[in-house]
A and B are shown apart, each in its own frame.
Chain A
Amino acid sequence: MTDHDGRLSRLGEWAEARALTALAVLTSAALVVAFYYPTATVLIEAVVVDGAVTLGAFAEVLTDPFYFGELARLLSGESPVAVARALLSPDRRLGIVGFTAYQAVLSTVASVALGLPAAYLLARFEFPGRRTLRSLTIVPFVLPSIMVAVGFVATFGENGTLNTALTTLGLPRVELMFTLEAVVIAHAFYNAPLVARVTTAAWESVDASAVETARSLGAGPVRAFVDVVAPQVYPAVLTGAALTFVFTFGTFPIVLALGGFELVTVEVLVYRLVRDLSYAEAAVLAIIELAVSLGVLLAYLRYEARQSTGARGARPLPRRPLSPPAATLRELLPRAGLAAYGVVAGVVFLAPIASMVLASVTGGDGAITLDHYRFLVERQQTGAAFQVRPWPAIRNSLAFATGATLLALPMGVVVAVLTTRRYRGRTLVDAAAMAPLAVSGIIVGLGLLRGLVFGVEIGGWRIAASGAAAIVVAHAVSGYPFVVRTVSPGLAGLDRSLVESARALGASRARVIRDVEIPLVWPAVVAGAAFAFAVSIGEFTSTVVLATGADAYTMPVAIERFIGRRLGPATAMGVVLLVVTGVSFVVIERLGGDHRGL
């Protein structure tokens, strides 16, 4: 080896030894630029008015019944008794924040009610297609929310499939559009599978030996379930419920599309305030929203920390066949319940998608037609510059999603590596890295718009990014936590001695990540990429803020533009979005190679 080579290889070693640090610094910088700084610039307006720090704006919002309903009177000093009486009266006012919490609670209850039977089915029964069904529970979570909204309009709308079906059967029509029910069902569509997933996982990790021990000690089947299975499963149900509450408290596209003018949640109001340029008020509301979400998450995390249920099932509970082995009440009753559940689940989960597809090929007269797709093609050919045309929307969606995935993947993997190692302050790093999940997308979008897009002046240099670039960054920020969440469990589950063996053989820490850890968790990385891609394709909230120019709108934004005026083209566009999302998933899986499912 020549002297020159020696120097080069030493330089290589030096770089390799610091690669992890460098990546961590880059990731932090990206987070600061793309998330913390923009968010801070917006939130600061809540407390800084004309250069002076004040809590006046907060006080105004907190004591305004428009926001807090009867509770505002309590906050402005009225007697609690009077307020309590008012709250119990039938014409109580909840205010916007109160209503947001109320619909979130209802949505949580509905999601748990719909999710638990699915968990029971998936954890305790064996049937063909069980694994596929289990994998499918992830699908609603990554479906573009605006598309789901279109599906719900197509199902529950005035001329939706539900009313068509009711009319055919000679039953009275129902009016579900722009009602709380529609919103709650749509939220359950999203979150019930989440509840089912976490609950199934916990249920499957219950050690069959523990149940058998309880049985051998004298407990009957029901008692053993109550004493042994339930205590190990219900923390997972609470996890699902807490996450559902947080997600539905910050809901936006669903309420925007299904709530009409009557139903307004905090996030929708923030959006309207931003449109009216009332930034300070919007910032106050966003902070309150963030506080409620974080409060619930923190309370939950504290609870979770006290629960020390080690989830290492030595031997999972055996699954029963779905077809009853004997015609006894004990065997038939649960299966009959599941059959009834299957019907409800079909209406909630399958009808919206099926209705959307159906509506996209149904004309005003009820006949099958391709008119809506023809409309999209015509619009593409003859649309005016200010009109939304389909092809740029598709192209932008794909380009943004590709860019966002390429950014989100390294960020997510680095954060996953950093948060699965043990050191002081790890929880803090974890929380800081996961914050984008809890902060309103409107605020992130607004911050990026006014920071990056309008330009920042640093030392005489004016730095400005295009709206498109800002969208890619915003999507990467909202997508990378999903990469972290898929990759972390795999990394945490890796045998430490694998890493140590590699290090003992002379590999640097960064080298071990490349040579050992990433290859072993590769399926999770691919899944993370698919997630990031899907999140970006479906992202609506920050996109709608940032996509100001005609050049930056995406498919979800296009659907939203159509949905108000023309349901037909909106459903056609929805189908296009569904196909593009589906194909992307398959392509990513193929490119990623062997993918063992989530």
Chain B
Amino acid sequence: MGSEPKSESAPDPPVAVELDGVTKRYGETAAVDDVRLRVREGEFFTLVGPSGCGQTTTLRLIAGFEEPTSGTVRFGDESVAGVPPEDRDVGVVFQSYALFPHMTVGENVAYGLNFADPPDGVTRDERVAELLELVDLPDAADRDPESLSGGQQQRIAMARALAPGPDVLLLDEPMSALDARLRERLRAQVKRIQSELSITTIYVTHDQEEALAVSDRVAVMNDGTPEQVAPPRTVYREPATRFVAEFVGDNNVFAGRVVESLGEGELAVDVDDGDETLRVAPGGGGDAGEGAPATNSPEVGDRIAFCVRPEHLRVASAGGAGGGETAAPVGENTLRATVASAEFLGETTRVTLDWGDRELLVRTVDPLDGAVAVGFDPSDGHVIDAEQR
């Protein structure tokens, strides 16, 4: 396993794990449906999606706990069909940690060394000490796993998985049993260990924030299929589908019909909800990553859906109880709405607005109440799909 630092400009490293049209059916239902993924060496790759969308099954197919119904899993360029888990050189950390309750922490970490010599020619004991050091629990070797806190157990499970020096580290919701604060600390630690060892890591989570925070690339899964595979920033800024737009972060999705082309890529759209015509400039779009459907530039008459992030909606109090036309300027695309509820989050306030029959989400710094005006720049609108809805 190499340890040279990654550089942005270097050519893509070779593929470590590849899923080629992999499908896994349980009876009638497909838990994983024709998945095509390539995870590169040293990459921190995350499968994210609502619970039960096939991420865990995908991980289990890679680990060898399940065999695909059809399609091929490759490690490097070799198929691992029929290769049992013990011969795949993977390390797995489960949601339940699955520490062996009848062994000490040290015995747990050393377990994999029964079947593989420690890397770098160190002794078993040295290797165990090295890993306990790595996860910041140097004195835990003689302890009983059950005497450890949840976060400590998670780190031991991580040390155990890494001890034999696996090629790929598989993490299945390893933090979902922990509280939010601890989760943030541990995910930073997981990320640090991953980049120190530059080990190929596939991480399963249902927490999109976690996925954005740690990953080099993210695959957003829905119904057993990745809807978008891209770096976190791309997934956030240029969601490929409505599902991705709504699952990753807060979003306001508008659907409507293009009524006019205003030049320079700007479109006028008659929005379905509310009797408004909004202007949106899809821009270049850029690389939305693998899995993103090719979006042709929409033409007049097309139905399209586009989204605007809450932080891109500008909002100002509409003033006076009389509801006069005294709204502060909020840019183009001005909508009139009323405050329904507000959640104070510290840095910002997440405000839900009633706009006609539907809701809009905005983020503000100042408190808001009553009638408001909302606006956004056409260039902040991102067209999700011309075929969508």
CA of A372 to CA of B345 in the docked complex: distance in angstroms?
A: 85
Contact partner of A218 among B95, B99, B164, CB < 8 A? B164
Using a CB-CB cutoff of 8 Å, which residues 111-166 of chain B contact chain A? 111-112, 114-116, 144, 146, 157, 160-161, 163-164, 166
Residue among B63, B101, B163 with the highest chain A CB neighbour number at 10 A: B101
A520 is an interface residue with CB less than 8 A from chain B: no
Least Cβ distance of B157 to chain A in Å?
A: 8
- Complex alpha-carbon distance, A213 and B159, angstroms: 12
Q: How far is the CB of A218 from chain B (nearest CB, A)?
A: 3
Q: Is A30 among interface residues, defined by CB-CB distance under 8 A?
A: no
List residues of chain B with CB within 8 A of the CB of A297. Answer: none
B85-122 CB contact bits vs A (8 Å, 1 = yes)? 11110111011111111100000000110111000000
Contacts of B115 in A (CB 8 A): 217-219, 223
A212 near B101 with CB under 8 A, answer: no
Query: B84 on the interface (CB 8 Å rule)?
Result: yes
> Which residues between 204 and 237 of chain A lie within 8 Å of chain B, taking CB atoms?
207, 209-210, 212-221, 223-224, 227-228, 231-232
Residues of B within 8 A of A214 (CB): 100, 111
A309 touches B102 (CB 8 A): yes
Complex Cα gap A308–B64 (Å): 31
Interface centre among A209, A210, A232 (most CB of B within 10 A): A209
A130 proximal to B (CB < 8 A)? no
Chain B residues positioned under 8 Å from A209 (CB to CB): 94-98
Once the chains are docked, how many angstroms separate the CA of A232 from the CA of B88? 26
Instruction: Return chain A residues, CB-CB under 8 Å to B344.
Output: none
CB-defined contacts of A228 to chain B, threshold 8 Å = 100
Q: Which residues of B contact A514 (CB under 8 A)?
A: none
CB < 8 Å neighbour of B101 from A223, A224, A308: A308
Q: For B85, B95, B111, B114, which residue has the most chain A Cβ atoms within 10 angstroms?
A: B85
| Nearest A-chain residue to B99, judged by Cβ | A210
Q: Chain A contact residues: over half helix, strand or loop, or mixed?
A: helix
Kindly state the separation between the CA atoms of A299 and B190 in the bound complex, as whole angstroms. Answer: 45
| Known A217-B160, A218-B86: A314·B96 in contact at CB below 8 Å | yes
CB-defined contacts of B63 to chain A, threshold 8 Å: 212, 216
Residue of A nearest to B87 (CB): A218
Residues of B within 8 A of A231 (CB): 100, 102
A216–B111 touching, CB < 8 Å:
no
Interface size on B, residues (CB 8 A): 34
Tell me which residues across on chain B come within 8 A of A232, comparing CB atoms: 101-102
Q: Is the CB of A216 within 8 A of B90?
A: yes
Shortest distance from the beta carbon of B124 to any chain A beta carbon, whole Å: 13
> Which residue on B lies nearest to A215, using beta carbons?
B85
CA distance A309 to B103 in the complex (A): 10
Which among B92, B111, B112, B146 is the interface contact of A212 at CB below 8 angstroms? Answer: B92
Asked if A566 is at the interface of the complex by the 8 Å CB criterion, the answer is no
A218 pairs with B102, CB closer than 8 A: no
Asked whether, in the complex, the Cβ of A217 is within 8 Å of the Cβ of B101, the reply is: no
Is the CB–CB distance between A227 and B96 below 8 Å? no
How far, in angstroms, from A28 to B114 measured CA to CA in the complex? 55
* CB–CB B101/A310 < 8 A: yes
With A207-B96, A315-B96 known as contacts, the answer to whether A213 contacts B160 (CB < 8 A) is yes
Asked if A213 and B114 sit within 8 Å, CB to CB, the answer is no
A232 to B170, CA, bound (A): 25
User: Which chain A residues border B161 with CB–CB below 8 Å?
Assistant: 213, 216-217
Instruction: Kindly provide the distance from the CB of A307 to the nearest chain B CB, expressed in whole angstroms.
Output: 8
Q: Are B95 and A314 in contact (CB under 8 A)?
A: yes
Q: Which of A217, A220, A232, A315 has the most CB of B within 10 A?
A: A217
Our pick among A215, A227, A309, A310 for the contact of B84 (Cβ within 8 Å) is A215
Report the bound CA distance from A212 to B111 in whole Å.
13
Contacts of A213 in B (CB 8 A): 92, 94, 98, 100, 157, 160-161
A217 touches B102 (CB 8 A): no
Task: Add 15 more A-B contacts to A214-B111, A217-B161, A308-B144 (CB < 8 A).
Answer: A207-B96, A209-B97, A210-B100, A212-B63, A213-B160, A215-B85, A216-B90, A217-B111, A217-B164, A218-B164, A221-B84, A223-B115, A308-B146, A309-B102, A310-B101
